[in-house]
Structure 1
Amino acid sequence: MSEPGTFDVADLVAVDVHTHAEISADGHPSLSPELEAAKGAYFKASGPPPTIAQMAEYYRERRIAAVVFTVDAEAATGHPPIRNEEVAAACAEHADILIPFASIDPWRGRAAARRARVLARDHGVRGFKFHPSLQEFFPNDRMAYPLYEALEELGLPALFHTGQTGIGAGVRGGAGIRLKYSNPLHVDDVAADFPELPIILAHPSFPWQDEALAIATHKPQVHIDLSGWSPKYFPPQLVRYANSLLKEKVLFGSDYPAITPDRWLADFEKLDIKPEVRPLILKENAARLLHLDTRPK
């Protein structure tokens, strides 16, 4: 593996575009105890969440680069997020393997756009994560458009959670979290209105898988990550499109620590994916989208 502070794409086995920073340096969790417990039960995950330094060690051992982010949903949940600056600084300490994304609650209005520019300029953030169900907003709500304008100007990708979420699953009333916000069709408007904005639809978008495939086929800048599900549960149409029309727009993502890359990759090995498509999904598509060959050293 390359020395810290460098980034040797050729030496990587894969690029995981979807991992979560779940605890801050001072022990502050990214979710409330109720939601964290429910998520652990849903994904059958146990043990304390890893620190970002522990994540770096884990991924470095496997020669897998990882995009790391948290979720800022304070307006809807009342729970303060892990600071983006902390995530970015921790990733910078492990710049040979970790790629920092940020999350800004779109309900912060125009201040969100200003903050996005600062995070990109001063903290090396390489993309932004949105979780519409947790943040309680439709992606095509105009109040979020100044933020998208900033991201488009910066040339940084916007990654949107889509489909059902394990957060709140099994809790009374789903903890009040509404799935309607994460229908990928709402992101289609964003892709149409911001044609130069790179977009990632996170997860198999259950129950809207066909909608996600249609959008990614229709809009040149829309990609799909495969996180949050074991590949053995992928809908057949997702596998078919990943093998053909969308082979250059589908990305490996695990949702670590909810799902480990070890488990995901073992199940992906058994999936009926063409040999020439596997490296595209595991590394090459993400390296191109994230401009890893031009990453600051």
Structure 2
Amino acid sequence: MTWSSRIDLDRITAIDVHTHVHRSVSAPPPAGSNADDMGAYFGIGSMPQYTLPELAQYYRERDMACVAFGVDSISQTGDELVPTNEEVAELAAEHADVVIPFASIDPARGAAGVRQARRLITDHGVRGFKFHPNTQGFHPNDRKAYPLYEVIAEHGLIALFHTGQTGVGAGTPGGGGIRLKYSNPMDVDDVAVDFPDMDIILAHPSFPWQDEALAVAMHKPRVHIDLSGWSPKYFPPQLVRYANSLLKNKVLFGSDFPVITPERWMKDAETIGLKDEVKPLIYKSNAARLLGLLPPGR
């Protein structure tokens, strides 16, 4: 089944561009899950793990839509992605009133990963690809990833890159082997130069490189910023200032659910001084335009 949007933009109140699917409908949580470490980092105890239908129902009950994906880090973990990209896409097609499917392919998969990306686009209708340079162990401007970007750009889709510090491995010995150097948004600036027609999202406030992320988004017309993974009350003041002004059409609501709920994110966002006229752009309109959900003339 190929995904095709059934999202009613007049009904939904927000589009969360950053949510994770951690559990397959056909298997228990994998052994060695880092859910407890992540939950401790975000102060929520053991992190809940949702299947895609459960994620869809969660957002449907809140009159929201969401972008959903896993993270393929096989080169570093040796583990296949669970749930698979195919499962996420197929179930998203069944829940296309609220879920937009992205995929994740570790660039280390090489030509096999490129073939998989093409299949996921043509056979399943995925709308973008999530890259996590820290857990995949690569710099975004490493030429080994460029064949994947070529496929994404060819089909007019979105490349979403984790940037800044990550909760994965935080507080564990040696940070769980995760190297933060891979998540500097300046590496993505090279990608934006080499793929000028590809839409890019810099995920998260990019601590400690927030100014770099703002500069890239200001300079490169197709680079956006999502606000996931942090409570807004911890946002750097310059991020709020730019979201309210020069980047108001390029900043996107994202939660990083389930580590942060959309309710908590929105409650905390009320305390940081976002302008009333900017909130609808951040919560829904910017994402709807970027994801191609707006009908002609809107």
For 1:18-167, list aligned pairs within 5 A.
Answer: 18-29=18-29, 32-33=32-33, 35-45=34-44, 46=46, 48-82=48-82, 83-167=84-168
Shift of the alpha carbon at 1:52?
A: 1.2
Q: Which residue of 2 aligns with 1:217?
A: 218
Q: Following the alignment from structure 2 to structure 1, what is the Cα–Cα distance between the partners of residues 212 and 253?
A: 20
1:191 deviates by 0.3
TM superposition shift of 1:128: 0.4
Identical pairs, percent? 64
Please give the secondary structure, in 1, of the residue aligned with 2:230. coil
Determine the C-alpha separation between the residues in 1 that align with 2:271 and 2:13. 17
Give the counterpart letter for 2:37 in structure 1: A
* Amino acid corresponding to residue 38 of structure 2 in structure 1: K
**Per-residue deviation at 1:92?**
1.2
1:5 offset after TM fit, Å? 6.9
Which has the higher mean CA deviation after the structures are superposed, 68-77 or 21-30?
A: 21-30
Distance 1:60 1:132, change over 3 A: same
Worse-superposed segment, 104-113 or 17-26:
104-113
* Stretch deviating more after TM superposition (48-57 or 22-31): 22-31
Cα deviation, 1:7-31, whole Å, max 9, x if unaligned, reads: 2112110000000001111235478
Cα RMSD, aligned residues only:
1.6
Amino acid at match of 1:60: R
Report the residue type matching 2:210 in the other structure: Q
Question: Residue 129 of structure 2 aligns to which amino acid in structure 1?
Answer: F
Partner of 1:8: 8
Q: Which amino acid aligns with 1:140?
A: N
Residues 31, 182 of structure 1: CA spacing in aligned structure 2 closer, same or farther, 3 A cutoff?
farther
SS at match of 2:280: helix
Deviations 1:60-113 (A, max 9, x none): 011110000000001111122121000111111111000000000100112222
Per-residue CA deviation, residues 122-159 of structure 1 (Å, 9 max, x unaligned), is 01111100000000000000011011011000100000
Contact 1:30 1:70 in 2 (8 A): no
- Corresponding letter in the other structure for 1:215: V
Larger deviation, residues 267-276 vs 121-130: 267-276
Find the aligned partners of 1:248 and 1:11 in 2 and give their Cα distance.
21
| Between 205-214 and 41-50, the greater mean CA deviation after superposition | 41-50
Structure 2 unaligned blocks of 5 or more:
none
- What count of residue pairs does the alignment treat as equivalent? 291
Alignment partners' CA distance in 2, 1:146 and 1:277: 37
Moved over 3 A (4+): 28-32
Q: Give yes or no for contact 2:17–2:252 (8 Å, CA) kept in 1.
A: yes
TM-score of the superposition, structure 2-length normalised?
0.94
User: 1:229-266, CA deviations, whole angstroms, 9 ceiling, x for partnerless residues?
Assistant: 00011000000000111000000000000100010011
Q: Give the conservation status (yes or no) of the 8 Å contact 1:23–1:51.
A: yes
- One-letter amino acid of the structure 2 residue matched with residue 246 of structure 1: L
- TM-score, structure 1 as length reference: 0.95
Q: Would you say the 8 A contact 1:5–1:94 is kept in 2?
A: no
Partner of 1:223, secondary structure, is strand
Amino acid in the other structure paired with 1:41: A
2:295 & 2:281 partners in 1: Cα distance? 18
